[in-house]
Structure 1
Amino acid sequence: MALGTPAAPAAPGDPAAVVAAERAFANRAGEVGIAPSFLEYMADDAIVFAPDPLLARAVYGARPPGKAPRDGGTRLNWWPNFAGVARSGDLGFTTGPATINGKPAGIFYFTVWARQPDGGWKWVYDGGIEADGAAAPGPDSTPIALPPGDAKPLAAAAAMEQVRSAEMALAARARTDAAQAYKAVLAADARVQGSSAAPATSPEAVDRQLAARAHAVAFGPLGGGASKAGDLVWTYGDARWDEGRGHYVRIWQRRGGKWSLVFDQIVAVQKP
């Protein structure tokens, strides 16, 4: 007689594994501290903005480990409010608020995760913005899941090529009207971050976020990656506008044979 029933495999597009990896990452930070946990959970080619794109291992490896929270060190905690994963289960993301020593940090993080050959997950990008998190769901809330993208497979290389074309078109239009450039590709359920206001989670809030940005923005792609199923792509690059600059991070999803932008975050480089 079987002693138990094997767990059913996750449905395509179910981000439960990515959410679990994010929660384990945050829990580990509460045990050993920020730098050691980030080094433990990052992929070898992971990047951060510091303030420009750098290999995360070089950035965190150069930092002293500091005290663990139990020994009086800073306790950084965070949790996902929104998450998604590719149908192939190899690329995903989460985003949500954070606390420092139990108090709201006014930070919204964004992490891109890649499944490793051993089946585990490592992050390939981690960053965030300063934003109002007063209304964000708490740590025990269930994250909203991105609906699955197209089921018909597409080669990862072809997916990247198609998204590069979509980004080129967005960038060309954004040089004169960034808001309209975004509206041409944003999904109805897209999330947009970048201002000090709460991250936009509705079409009306997205309009307000876009209106808070510069009217004209020059974008330049730098990198990213695609899922094996070719349904999910993440990208990052430069963003420049009058009297300011920063970097963008995006999630593109293939829906109905077309690419839609489902997440966009602009991280401004603070002036010295």
Structure 2
Amino acid sequence: MKKRRMILPCCFLYTIVSAQPVQQVVNAERSFAQHALSHSIKQAFLQYLDSNGVVFTEGGEQNGIKFWEKAQETEAKLQWYPTFAGIAAAGDLGFTTGPFEFRQTLTGPLLGAGQYTTVWRKTEKGEWKLLVDLGVDLQPSLYDDQTPLTFFTPAGAADISVQELERQLILRYDSLSVAAFRDVITAASLFNIRGQVPKKGVQAIMQGLQGLPVKYEFIPVATGISQSRDLAYAYGIMKYNGKKTNYLRIWAHTAEGWKVLVQVLPW
């Protein structure tokens, strides 16, 4: 059984607005989670994955539907809920993050916990489908904290490619190490780093990054951006000392320019 690997919530937003548009993404996430309980983890992923959706396996990525079609059924239970969500102005791309727990049965002992993040896209048929899903393991579980749901709204569009955003950040990281992140994060940003309590805001994130024992190599694999060009994502490979895993970044255009809103670092 392949556990869902995921990220935690951010509780700051630039603008709290009517939840109506973003509620579509929240509802999709909640329906996905409910399907996992009423049917199975496998059936939930097969129901909600986009045809181009990916899953990550030890530093690689593969088509999610093909992966889950081959996966064995299990009676194990995976529970999660969103605590932070956002949607592009065009209404075609969104995300949610929140805590998850994994148990053999609903009342059984805790086998795993952490924070997930999911990137969603709205299809031509008006259905929300899962594009990317990644997270980090975390103990103790934050599932019972019941963090209130909050929303993020991007601030206008900008004419730049996600590939260029990634290229600029990675070049700065190669020369400045973790100091490179200071200019691309805000009070709204949240980093989920394996084994650490989620870090929200500039000071907490920089402190969390200083605790990392190594400097990583980031290799972008794929990116996507909303039609309104105000919300984007990038995922790829992280390498260190012959080992590799995956990373995920969600970029948002804010009043301060493009910022990394959510980052998943499984190491």
TM class, shorter-chain normalised?
0.7 to 0.9
Q: For residue 97 of structure 1, what is the aligned residue in structure 2?
A: 99
Counterpart position of 1:22: 29
AA of the residue aligned to 1:91: L
**Counterparts of residues 172-187 of structure 1 (less than 5 Å):** 172-187=171-186
Report the AA paired with residue 150 of structure 1.
Answer: A
Change over 3 Å in CA distance of 1:123–1:190 after alignment to 2: same
**Matched ranges for 1:41-56 at <5 A:** 41-51=48-58, 52-56=60-64
Q: Output the amino acid matched with 1:47.
A: V
Q: Does the 8 A contact of 1:13 with 1:89 survive in 2?
A: no
Match 1:126 to one of 118, 129, 133 = 133
| TM-superposition CA deviations, 1:184-233 (whole Å, max 9, x none) | 21122100012201211233321232112245222111112111111000
How much has 1:50 moved relative to structure 2?
Answer: 1.3
Following TM superposition, by how much is the alpha carbon of 1:150 offset from its aligned partner in structure 2, in angstroms? 2.2
Residue in 2 aligned with 1:7? none
Which residue does the alignment assign to 2:69?
A: 61
Q: CA–CA distance in 2 between the matches of 1:184 and 1:137?
A: 33
User: Do the aligned partners of 2:135 and 2:192 also contact (CA within 8 Å) in 1?
Assistant: no
CA contact (8 A) 1:46 1:123 kept: yes
Structure with the bigger RCO (C-alpha within 8 Å, sep 6+) is 2
Equivalent in 92, 100, 117 of residue 110 of structure 1: 117
Partner of residue 149 from structure 1, selected from 154, 159, 163? 154
1:252 corresponds to which letter in structure 2?
W
Whole-Å separation in 2 of the counterparts to 1:207 and 1:258? 19
Q: Distance in 1 between matches of 2:27 and 2:57?
A: 27
CA distance in 1, matches of 2:149, 2:212: 27
Question: Using a 3 Å threshold, how does the CA distance of structure 1 residues 85 and 232 change in structure 2: closer, same or farther?
Answer: same
The 1:185–1:251 alpha-carbon spacing in structure 2 relative to 1, beyond 3 Å, is same
Larger deviation, residues 214-223 vs 30-39: 214-223
CA contact (8 A) 2:54 2:64 kept: yes
Which ranges in structure 2 are unaligned for 5 or more consecutive residues? Answer: 1-16
Identity across matched positions, percent: 25
Give, as a single letter, the amino acid of the residue that structure 1 aligns with 2:99: P
Q: 1:84 aligns with which of 83, 86, 89?
A: 86
In 2: Cα distance, 1:125 partner to 1:205 partner: 26
Between the two proteins, the alignment pairs up a number of residues equal to: 245
Q: For residue 12 of structure 2, what is the aligned residue in structure 1?
A: none
After superposition, the C-alpha distances for 1:219-255 in whole angstroms (9 at most, x for unaligned) are 1111121111110001101122346432210111112
How does 1:214-233 map onto structure 2 within 5 Å? Answer: 214-233=213-232
Equivalence for 1:35: 42
Change (3 A) 1:29 1:125: same
Q: Which moved more, 1:203-212 or 1:114-123?
A: 203-212
Q: Residues of 2 paired with 1:28 and 1:228: CA distance?
A: 29
| Cα separation, 2, equivalents of 1:106 and 1:58 | 25
Supply the distance in 1 between the matched residues of 2:259 and 2:85 (Cα, whole angstroms): 16
Question: What TM-score do you get using the length of structure 1 for normalisation?
Answer: 0.82
SS at match of 1:109: strand
Matches within 5 A, 1:229-244: 229-242=228-241, 244=243
Higher-Rg member (1/2)? 1
Could you tell me how far apart the structure 2 residues matched to 1:30 and 1:263 are?
A: 27
Q: Distance in 2 between matches of 1:181 and 1:223?
A: 21
Question: RMSD of the TM alignment (CA)?
Answer: 2.2
Give the secondary-structure state (helix, strand or coil) at the position aligned to 1:187. coil
- C-alpha distance in structure 1 between counterparts of 2:242 and 2:175, whole Å: 16
Instruction: For residue 144 of structure 1, report the CA deviation from its aligned partner.
Output: 2.0
TM-score (norm 2): 0.83
